[in-house]
Amino acid sequence: MNILLVEDNVALQASLCRALERRGFIVRVCGRGDQALQAWADQEPDVVLLDLSLPGMDGLEVLSQARSAGRKTPVMILTARGTVGDRVLGLNTGADDYLAKPFDLDELEARLRALRRRAPASAPAMSYCGLQVDAESGAVLRHGRPLELAGREAAMLRALLARAGQAVAKERLFDLVFPGEIEVHQEAVEVVAYRLRKRLQGTGVALVTLRGLGYLLRPAP
C-alpha cells in the first residue's frame, strides 16, 4: 500500500516511516501543507495520512482543496487536536478517518488497511515502454515479470514512471527515495540513479540526467 504522509515533525516523520515500512507499506513524506497538494497530484497514493498543524497551509485547507479538485483518495487525519469539534470539522471537510496523537501503531495499521479495503478500485497501474508498477504491491514489472531492484532503486523508478517522459527534479526524488532521512545528503540521489541506470540496461528504457533539471525516463536508443 502506498502512503503519503503529510507531517512537519521530522522526528515523527522518521519514526512513522520506519514503522510503516517494516509493516510492508511504501511511504512518501511531505512536510509542508503548501507542497502536499503537488505531492498528492504527482503520484496518487492509496491513503493520505494528514496532520492538521502544518507550515505553509493548514491540513484542513489541504484536504478541502484536494476534495474540490476531485481527489477521492482516502484520508486519515493524524493530529494532537482531539476535541469532538475538531473531529467533526475534519470529517465534514472530507476526511475518512481520524486518529488523535499519541496513537498505537497496531491501530494505525488496522485503520489504514480498512480504509484501503473501502476505497474504490485502484486506477490503472503506471506503465511505460514495457515497465509497469503493480498498483497493489508497488513492485515494478517488465512485461509482467518483477525487476530485481533494491528498495531505493524501486522508489526512484516508481517516481520516474509516474512522470515518464518528463524531468523529475533531484530534490523531489530525494524526498521520495529518502523520506524523513535528514542525515542523508542530496548527493545520495546520484548514487541511486547510477545503480538504477545499470539495472535498466537491456529493458528498453534509459535513465537520463538533465543538468539543472533532474532525471527522466525515455526509450533506450
Q: Give all domains of the chain, ordered by start, each with its CATH number.
A: 2-118 (3.40.50.2300), 127-219 (1.10.10.10)
Give 151: exposed, middle or buried? Use CB within 10 Å, 0-12, 13-18, 19+: exposed
Residue 50: pLDDT over 60: yes
Whether the model clears a pTM of 0.75, i.e. scores above it, the answer is no
pLDDT digits (tens, 9 = 90+) for 10-40: 998 899 988 998 888 889 999 999 889 888 8
Cα-flanking dihedrals φ and ψ of residue 138, to 5°? 85, 0
pLDDT digits (tens, 9 = 90+) for 175-216: 888 876 778 888 899 999 999 999 999 999 999 999 888 999
Q: Identify the pLDDT of residue 166.
A: 83
List Cβ neighbours of 51 (8 Å cut-off, separation of 6 or more). 6, 7, 8, 9, 59, 77, 78, 79
Instruction: Look up residue 38 and give its three cell numbers.
Output: 503537488
**pLDDT exceeds cutoff 70 at 217:** yes
| Residue environment code for 37-59, b if the CB has 16+ CB neighbours within 10 A, otherwise e | bebbebbbbbbbbbbbebeebeb
Confidence at 124, pLDDT banded by 50, 70, 90:
very low
Evaluate if residue 123 carries a pLDDT over 80.
no
Would you mind telling me the total number of residues written for the chain in this entry? 221
CA atoms within 13 A on the CB side of 93: 23
Q: What is the CA radius of gyration of the chain?
A: 18
pLDDT value of residue 136: 63
pLDDT at 209: 92
